[in-house]
Amino acid sequence: MNITIFSAKHYDRTFFDRTNTNDRHTLRYLEPRLNAETASLAEGADAVCAFVNDQLDEDTLRELAARGVKLILLRSAGFNHVDLAAATRQGLTVARVPAYSPHAVAEHTLALILTLNRQTHRAFNRVREHNFSLEGLIGFDLHQKTVGIIGTGTIGTAFASLLSGFGCRLLAYDPYPNDACKELGVDYVDLPTLLGASHIISLHCPLTPETHHLINAEALEQMRPGVMLINTSRGAIVDTRAVIQGLKNETIGYLGLDVYEEEEALFFEDQSEQIIHDDLFARLLTFPNVLITGHQGFFTREALSNIARITLANATAFESGQGTLHEVTLKRQSPA
């Protein structure tokens, strides 16, 4: 199958080429993001492979279908960036990688928590400048703290498993509680109870119309003063303006973000020579208790290897009619 891979970085090429044994598929790597303007670059392809900030809206999908593309291969679990109704209208099949390494994202979530708490990022810089003062670096024991997990699917469950090892009390909110979490001692509660009781709140639900700005001014009012809020899920689950207000009035004591609602214009590129035009993002960077990473939760060798393997297996299954095709359809209620 001819597959055009958009938003391709050198690491995508490394892992996809390594996985594409015997050149089963013909892979073409393109740096530009996929959108209505760049879709014409897929001319001659049977499938396109897209990443999280590619724009798979009606215009893009129409353009792809007109060029003969039949299959959209998402190299992500999330599919909130795809207009599934439009894909159906255009006769396009959409497939994704449902789970490639929940541990990668769960471990990165833990890294944000530990770094924010013990301020290892600041300590690193201090020691390099021969400043061995501990002023301002005081943290807290995670042991016996209450951690609220919103969304206990594959990543939320892996995260619960890590946190149970720290001796934390675990609360969760999810419309579909799972037994694995219950066995870890997770107490399922309603959202207001979780918001009010948790020292740390971590988001692991998908971005859907219901979860858009789930963390807004009203939710912040219900939280413990000084709460640690972590979002490694999707940016728009958090209302950035409300969170900035929460940082200013000290409701939020720590904020860790791996995703940002307007990340499309910022992340995955070296912008160190550029001026940041996003004033909300620039404001977030001014707080000493905010730690932001550029959507790297998934970024481990194991995850990249699984993403390449499952994406190409989806292509093979679509082409041959054999094996598992991880198709995304409109019927699916809980996108990840």
Catalogue the active-site residues.
234, 263, 295
CA 328 to chain centre: 18
Distance in Å, CB of 87 to ligand NAD, minimum = 18
Distance in Å, CB of 42 to ligand NAD, minimum = 24
Question: Which CB atom, from 60 or from 211, has the smaller least distance to ligand NAD?
Answer: 211
Number of residues that bind ligand NAD (CB under 6 A): 32
Residue 230 touches ligand NAD, criterion: CB under 6 A: no
x/- mask, ligand NAD, residues 278-307, rule CB under 6 A, reads: -----------------x-xx---------
Scan residues 135-194 and list those touching ligand NAD (CB under 6 A): 150-156, 173-176
Distance in Å, CB of 153 to ligand NAD, minimum = 2
Question: Which CB atom, from 42 or from 94, has the smaller least distance to ligand NAD?
Answer: 94
Residues 6+ apart with CB under 8 A from 201: 147, 148, 150, 194, 195, 215, 223, 227, 228, 229, 230
Distance in Å, CB of 320 to ligand NAD, minimum = 27
Scan residues 189-228 and list those touching ligand NAD (CB under 6 A): 204-207, 210-211
Question: Which CB atom, from 38 or from 109, has the smaller least distance to ligand NAD?
Answer: 109
Which of 55, 117, 232, 240 binds ligand NAD (CB under 6 A)? It is 232
Residue 77 touches ligand NAD, criterion: CB under 6 A: yes
- Euclidean distance between CA atoms 196 and 251, whole angstroms: 12
Residues that bind ligand NAD (CB under 6 A): 77-78, 99, 102, 105, 150-156, 173-176, 204-207, 210-211, 232-234, 258-259, 295, 297-298, 334, 336
